[in-house]
Amino acid sequence: MQVLVLGGTGFIGKRLTSRLLQEGELSLNGQAPREIKRLVVFDKHGTDQLPNDPRLEIIDGDINDDRLIDNLLKSSYDAIFHLAAIVSGEAERDFDMGMRVNLKASMNILEICRHQNRKPLMVFASSCAVFGGNATKSIIRDDTHTTPQSSYGTQKAITELLINDYSRRGFIDGRVLRLPTIMVRSGKANAANSSFASSMIREPLHGHTTTCPVPDETMIWILSPEAAILNFMFGASLNSDLLGDNRIVTLPGLKTSVSEIKERMKELKGKEILDLIETSIDEDVYNMVQTWPIDFDTSRALDLGFVKDNSISDVIKLFMKEEFDS
């Protein structure tokens, strides 16, 4: 089996790549697991943080380089994990870049797959940012009408529809996974409007001060990196017949608040840890976060077999174990 991970040197991409290499096999579309003989990672930058493995090939380049992507996709990939994107804050600040990377590149990838007549299985990383506005006032299900209030969410929503249609037409075997805010991310904060959620855990645990740009009562919908990786691999294994005419699945997450995160941090590390979390409201970030939905009915995802985290405490403990025990 040959597998391609687009955006494979990003935070989730590296974890997914490492897990695929560790497992050594992957189930696709309800079939028995097959050996992964070649795993190709593509991203704008290379990395030295992936295992040295003869099955692994790392290619760096511009996802908007049509000739490069056409050559990349000439291989007969059995599965494509499409994680490549610029994040929400960056897409909002630079509309043209967001359109190029988050939409036009995805359209080009889909068109190349269509003309190759190979019908690869594709797992696409979407986002709960496809919802916003009045949709946030009610419980959201997989069939809730998308009303994004950001350029990033709009670009993801359009790609969702395209993957659904390309799957209906038999060009690809697509699965779209709508991700909650991923927490906790290691390393430096990125340009996502949601990056504060990870920073207010990661930075204090390393003894650094961090600034939270939203008030304590702010609610967010989160998922741990570990659960995200498990769900990506499960999404590839899922029999497409179980998805019916809707290839889009909103992943189960945890509803939490800034105040609850602080409380769990205090329980785990003592009240002194809160001295490292300062609050300074950033109106642009706060206004954007206010458009994000927080109430989801993810019973379809759970019935299909996707997984969720047990608690915010468990999410923080998992980060501490990975960050410090290793």
Contact 128, 76 (CB under 8 A): no
**Position 128, amino acid:** C
**Position 293, amino acid:** P
Residue among 77, 152, 166, 286 flagged as catalytic:
152
CA 194/CA 171 separation, integer angstroms:
34
CA 120/CA 115 separation, integer angstroms:
12
CA 62/CA 66 separation, integer angstroms:
9
Angle, in degrees to the nearest 10, between helices 312-320 and 195-205: 50
Residue in this structure with the two tokens 């494509």, named with its chain if needed: 80
Judge residue 219's burial from the number of C-beta atoms within 10 Å of its C-beta, 0-12 exposed, 13-18 middle, 19 or more buried: middle
Active site residue 286: no
Taken as a whole, the chain contains a residue count of 326
Catalytic residues: 152
